[in-house]
Structure 1
């Protein structure tokens, strides 16, 4: 009896508005399967950010790619991923979340196949760009499907914590799996592994997920808004990628940064005047949405910079192999899995998002201040690992909390918009953090000149960059204090599910 009651509380209410539907009670095993599908999809799309990095040298050798062009194997994916998130999320509200989720996975799988078969640099980079579009569609719609499947409160918090924890751990897992696959089966296998996962998940999604969409009276996509925000985000990520490689004050960074500002400003004007905007500007003022997205951007900015800089530190300064450097991040991945996947959701359900965000950002700031003690010879186990774990603990608490806060203000029919926006904030935050960190390191190294060894100069630059991470975390503390934390109450209700089409 208690099990049936629990299943009813966990049920989805994601029936298409205005359409008749067959109904049946939801079951806990079925919801577990749905969550598994969504988590698997998110895992593989995040995994692909890092899984290729370990194989870049092998790709360069086999395909004859120059060092300067190698970055685009990674950047092409991140560029289209971030650029199409907001559009994908909003389109899923209008045209069907399950449909777009499956389409995204198929696009991701087929472009992975092309990448694995790529005979040249151009084909590989093109496949990575298309792969990023598929990943954006799957990621934004996957998160919105989670929101409409699990009712707001304890059940959704728990599902979001698992989703966020797996997303966070996937980056470290990508480095490890990339090393293993490249060493045993070759670099093409890192793309081929996505194909069966993407196709099987897409097929199962059409069988087990419930189709849902927002208000059927609002089926018109704001095309000028969609084009302007997608173009603006693409140009912004391109500029930040150049900033990370050429320097923040280089012409290749400043020119597209200025252009992106103009295009994104035009997006705001379009949305203000539109009768059916892609993103109503009032949406950002609702509840905790603005502060949660700011926290997502700041957290990802700080964490991305730490992960990249410490990967360079372990390999170039301390002489770790690529695989050993990946394994060095395994403890941090476990922190995200256990703290982010279990503890954070319980704390948010008990105390609300605001105190959890405040504590998480404070712990992150403390961890970055500890990393300021880094030296060329810092031992991993007794010096570096404890500091990495402190930062990861704070981030793990924060990730789940800003997901919950950022989605709590979405009204029915806006789940895709909220999901696309929080994902976009995260993906934009990463390049911002990396661009800032690389600029800081470059300024410090140039200032030291030949007064110290190149390794010592680089580590000194890293220390200042970690202070930058502490500043970003400190800004996060301010947003955490300002956030309006809605009280979430689990209300028992008798739900209904639309029977999925066979």
Structure 2
């Protein structure tokens, strides 16, 4: 399920130009094919995670999987821009319901450290490498059978996943809605997160107005502050604030957010570097990313769990982030006439290996203090950290790259050198995200 959700995002990204041509999207409207999904997905993760605790993770997972599959069919047969955007929003709702409880289910199903490390490795591989794999599939699908199959391919996969879930996942009794059915809190957090994500994603749109951004930011802050105050006073809060009294949980989730900010921002800017500076087409760009998912698979599915059991999640996280930061600094030196063998492939291999051990270790630490009644909630918190990191990182790095390129062009630089300098600044900034996470891990996270 997680791989299908991640794949769907990047497959759609590659297909956007074709969708625009066939359905008559405006430039601004086209962005909502991505934004409508992201806003629904990120805005509902916390609520969905808590629902998993209250009514049972299995039930919420299957409901979300079914909705995501049905919405994929709607997107695949959509004959208008409006219907496609509506389908994408429903995909986001279904994806949030299913994704929010996955980590909690892993913790419950695999309590032993070795088994849990392997399970987290598989989860990490789908989250970190699914985007790169989606770039490859997106180019192939769009050029051969049409963009509609970027969605329709989810239907048989989703139906099979529902069947396996019904057969293999045992029913998990929830705490009951009476233990946390905070309707007002649910409305406040969903609205607050949705406005916050919308504020972030609209930064990448051209002609974004500063006053409008400030107003949206203020609205998000007010809604989320009201949610926190509500949770502090509610008899049965949606989100028990005591989970954040644990330094381990709080710091580990910040580290997760920084890793995803660097990872998704890196992927976005690197794809643009390959296309706009080195001249790759969409299919070649997707294939160029292959070293990252291959090394990620080797580490997260095989070597990573063994290293975690042998040395502990803390040390593995430190090593993985150090490798990731090194790869980003290496890439920041790539020239305008860079070659794939020297300047790109080795970087992607080192990055894939580093992320392949760092993300599962960070998630294990973030979930390490989950009690039986809070696994779904902490799963939702960690998934929210991932999505917030991805959205914030992509917006910040894209903005930095564009601003640097504009400054270099104003100073008289050529188009390609200006673009390369912009991406270089973005990669150095991404290395800064990872370094900040590394420092937090070394100084504040407890060794396991």
Q: Indicate the TM-score class for this superposition, using the shorter chain for normalisation.
A: over 0.9
Q: Give CA-to-partner distance per residue, 1:299-340, whole Å, 9 cap, x none.
A: 010111110001111112211110110011111011111112
**Structure 1 residue aligned with 2:387:** 427
Distance 1:293 1:246 in 2: 32
Task: Report how far residue 454 of structure 1 moved.
Answer: 1.8
Which 10-residue stretch deviates more, 339-348 or 275-284?
339-348
Distance 1:399 1:181 in 2: 29
Query: Unaligned stretches of 5+ in structure 1?
Result: 1-40, 488-502
Superposed counterparts of 1:44-443, under 5 Å: 44-216=4-176, 219-246=179-206, 250-286=210-246, 288-443=248-403
Give secondary structure in 1 for the equivalent of 2:92.
helix
Task: Report how far residue 476 of structure 1 moved.
Answer: 0.4
Over 3 Å counting, the alpha-carbon distance change for 1:144 and 1:185 in structure 2 is same
Give secondary structure in 2 for the equivalent of 1:408.
coil
Give secondary structure in 2 for the equivalent of 1:468.
helix
8 Å Cα contact 2:315-2:447 kept in structure 1: no
**Structure 2 residue aligned with 1:498:** none
**Structure 2 residue aligned with 1:464:** 425
8 Å Cα contact 1:244-1:431 kept in structure 2: no
Query: Unaligned stretches of 5+ in structure 2?
Result: none
**Structure whose CA Rg is larger:** 1
| Bigger share in helix | 2
Residues paired across the two proteins, number: 447
Q: Please, which of 437, 440, 443 is the counterpart of residue 479 of structure 1?
A: 440
Distance 1:406 1:248 in 2: 35
Task: Report how far residue 214 of structure 1 moved.
Answer: 4.3
Distance 1:379 1:349 in 2: 38
Task: Report how far residue 418 of structure 1 moved.
Answer: 1.0
8 Å Cα contact 2:54-2:177 kept in structure 1: no
Over 3 Å counting, the alpha-carbon distance change for 1:416 and 1:459 in structure 2 is same
Task: Report how far residue 459 of structure 1 moved.
Answer: 1.0
Give secondary structure in 2 for the equivalent of 1:409.
coil
Q: CA RMSD in A?
A: 1.7
Distance 2:193 2:446 in 1: 29
Distance 2:405 2:143 in 1: 34
Q: Give CA-to-partner distance per residue, 1:392-449, whole Å, 9 cap, x none.
A: 3222221110111111110011110111111100000011111211221232123221
8 Å Cα contact 1:225-1:271 kept in structure 2: yes
8 Å Cα contact 2:294-2:352 kept in structure 1: no
Q: TM-score, normalised by structure 1?
A: 0.86
Give secondary structure in 2 for the equivalent of 1:51.
helix
Distance 2:361 2:207 in 1: 33
Q: TM-score, normalised by structure 2?
A: 0.96
Task: Report how far residue 49 of structure 1 moved.
Answer: 1.0
